Amino acid sequence: MNVFALDWYLIALIMFIGFYCMLASRSIVRQLVGLEIVSKAAMLALISAGALTNNLVYAQAILITMIVIEVVVVATGLALLVKNFRLHGAADIWNLDSLKG
Amino acid sequence: MDKGLLAYLLIPLFTAVLIPFIARNRPRLADIFANVTLLAGLVNLLWLALRPSVIAGGFADIPGDALSLLLVAAVYLVGLCVTFFSAYFMEEGLPNRQAYYSLILTSIAAMTGVVTTGDFFTLYVFIEVLAVTSFALITTDDSAGGIEGAIKYFFLTFPASALIMVGIAIFMISLGSLSFDSLRVYMSSDMPDGPVVFASALIMLGFLIKSGVVPFHAWTPDAYQGSYAPVSAHLAGIVTKISGVYAVVKLATLLRFFDGRAQALSELVMFLGLLSIAVGAIAALRQTSFKRMLAFSSISQVGYIVLAAGLGTPLAIMGAVFHLINHATFKTTLFLNSASLEKAAGTTDMDKLGGMEHAMPWTSWTSVIALLSTAGVPPLSGFWSKLLIILALWESGLKTYAVLALLFSIVTLAYFMIMQRKVFFGRKSPAAERSSEVSAPLLAPAVLMCGVIVALGLLFPYFYQYVKVVAERIIL
C-alpha cells in the first residue's frame, strides 16, 4: 500500500474526529480542542503534500507561517472563552441564546 | 502580490503600530492619526483612478487588474467613514481608543492584502489576520451580545479555514504551485481532473461559509447584531465581503465558470446564491431589531453577488463587482444610521421606535436613499448592478433564476418599507419625543455615502467603462 494513501486516510480520520468533537460537545473548551484537532489535520495534509511532490522546503515555509497563525487563533479563542466565562459564569455553548429572532 | 498597491497595505499597518506609542497619553491623537492615514490613502487612490487623463483614456492606464484598485478604494472609503464616525460616537475613555484604532487599521491593511494578493496561501494568511482583528473589534464593548456573536463567528470561521487549508494542500499536489495564475492556466488547458475539482470545491465551501451564504449563515446576524455599533458597519459593509465574497468571485473567475468546465460547482454556487437571496429576504420581513433586519438583508444581497459569481460570464462578473461596491456603500449607510439611532433613542428595537423622522430628518432621508438603492430603484447605483446581474442571467438562458432574482428584489423593497414605516414615518413615539438629531460629524459619513450612491448611479456610463476593463482583465 502506498504510504501516502495511508497518510490521507489518517488525515481524513483525524479531521472527522475533530469535527465530531465540535459537534458532540457542549463545552466551549472542548469545542476549541475539536477545532485544534481539525486544524492539525489540515497541517498534516500540507506536510504530506510537500513530501509527495518533493517540495518539502516550500511546505515547511508554509507550515511555519501556519503555526504562527494557529497560535494567534488559539490565543483569541481562549480570550473569548475567558471573557464569556466572566460574563455568564459558564462555558456552556447552549447558554449563548440571547441573540435570536 | 500587486507591488504597485503595496504601500496601501504597509502605511495603515505602520500607523497601527505607531498609534499605541504616540497616542499613549492623548487618546484624541489616535482619532486624528487614523483619520488622516485613511483620508490620505483615499485621496491618493482617487487621484490614481480618476485623473482626467485616465478617464479620457477609458481607464486603460490602471495598474494591475483594475479590480484590486477598485476594492482597495472601497476598503479605504468604508474605513474612513467608520473611523470618522467612531471618533465622535465613542464615549470618553470607553472603549480604549488606541487599541480600537490600531485594530481597525490592521484590519484595513489585511483587507488590502486580501484584494492585492496573487496566491492562495497569502490570501489565507490575510484572511486569518482579518478574522482575528474582527473578533477583537466585535467585543469592543463589554456587552453580552458582542461576546456571543464573536464566539459563534469564531466556531464557524476557523473550521472553514481548515477546509481551505486542505484544499490548498491538494492544489499543491496537483498543480505544483499555489499562484492564482497556475490554476487559471490549468483550467484553460483541458478538463479538470478529480483532485482539482475536489480541492476547488473545498476552498469554495470554506469561502461560502466565511461569506455567510444561506446554509452557513448562522453566525452572520448574531455577529452583526451583537457587535459594537460602528464596528457592525465596518463588518457588514466591508470585512465579511472582502474575506468571503471577494474570494468567491475571484475563485469563480479563476475556475472559468463561464466556459462550463466546472459545471457542477457553478450550478451549486448559483443555487446557494438564489437560496440565500430568498431566505435572507423572507427572514428580514419578520425581524423586530433594526440591526438584525439589516443583517438578514445583507445575507440576501450577498446572495445576488454569489449568484452572479456562480454564473461567471463577463457581464455577470461585472454585475457582481458592481454589487459588491454598492453593497459597501448602502449597507455602511444603513448600519451607521442604526448606530445614530442607538445613540439618539437608546434602542434599535423597531417596535419601540416610530416617527423618528420628526426628530432625525437627516438620518431618515439618508436611510431612504440607501434602502431605495438596495431595492434597485433607478437611477440609484443599486439599480444598475441588479440590472447587470439579471440581464446576464437572462442572456445565459437561465430565465427562472432571472425572474426569481427580480421577484425577491421586490421583497427587498417590501421589508425596507416596513422598516422605514415602523422606525421613521408614522406617529411620534415616546422615543421620538425624547430624542433629537445627532451632531453633524455623525451625519457626515452617511451623507458622503449617499453622495457616492447617487453619483455612481448618475455617472454609470463612466463606471461601466471601468468595470468593463476589470472584467476584461480578470477573465481573459
> pLDDT tens, B293-351?
999 999 999 999 999 999 988 899 999 999 999 999 999 999 999 998 888 887 778 87
Q: Does B119 touch chain A (CB under 8 A)?
A: no
Q: Does B285 touch chain A (CB under 8 A)?
A: no
- Is B125 close to A50, i.e. CB distance below 8 A? no
Question: Does 1.10.287.3510 match the CATH number of domain A3-91?
Answer: yes
> pLDDT tens, B344-392?
887 778 878 877 778 888 888 999 999 899 888 888 888 999 999 999 9
Q: How far is B99 from chain A (nearest CA, A)?
A: 15
Q: What is the pLDDT of residue B1?
A: 55
**Count of domains for chain B:** 1
Q: Which residue has the higher pLDDT, B30 or B355?
A: B30
Among B140, B151, B174, B198, the residue to mutate for chain A (most A Cβ within 10 A): B151
Q: Reduced to 3 states, what is the DSSP secondary structure of residue B349? A: strand
- Is A80 close to B154, i.e. CB distance below 8 A? yes
Q: Which domain holds residue B299?
A: 3-475
Q: Does B151 touch chain A (CB under 8 A)?
A: yes
Neighboring chain B residues of A11 at a CB cutoff of 8 Å: 166
- Backbone phi, psi, residue B289, to 5°: -90, 130
Res B436 pLDDT > 80? no
Nearest to B151 among A58, A72, A96 (CB): A96
Mean pLDDT of chain A: 88
Please state, in angstroms and as integers, the Cα–Cα distance from residue B74 to each residue in B35, B57, B449, following that order: 15, 22, 11
Give the burial string for B429-443 (b: 16+ CB within 10 Å, else e).
Answer: bebbeebebbeeebb
Res B31 pLDDT > 70? yes
The domain limits of chain A are 3-91
Neighboring chain A residues of B152 at a CB cutoff of 8 Å: 96
Res B426 pLDDT > 60? yes
What is the interface pTM, i.e. ipTM, of the complex? 0.94
Q: What is the pLDDT of residue A33?
A: 93
Neighboring chain A residues of B132 at a CB cutoff of 8 Å: 72-73, 76
What cell does B472 get? 476584461
Q: What is the pLDDT of residue B262?
A: 81
What is d(CA B449, CA B18) in angstroms, rounded to the nearest whole number?
29
Instruction: Look at phi and psi of residue B59 and say left if phi exceeds 0, alpha if psi is from -120 to 50, else beta.
Output: left
Neighboring chain A residues of B161 at a CB cutoff of 8 Å: 39, 42
Please state, in angstroms and as integers, the Cα–Cα distance from residue B258 to each residue in A76, B36, B84, B388, B398, following that order: 40, 42, 41, 16, 13
Percent of chain B with pLDDT over 90: 38
> pLDDT tens, B35-56?
999 999 999 888 888 887 777 7
Res B57 pLDDT > 90? no
What is d(CA B471, CA B363) in angstroms, rounded to the nearest whole number?
36
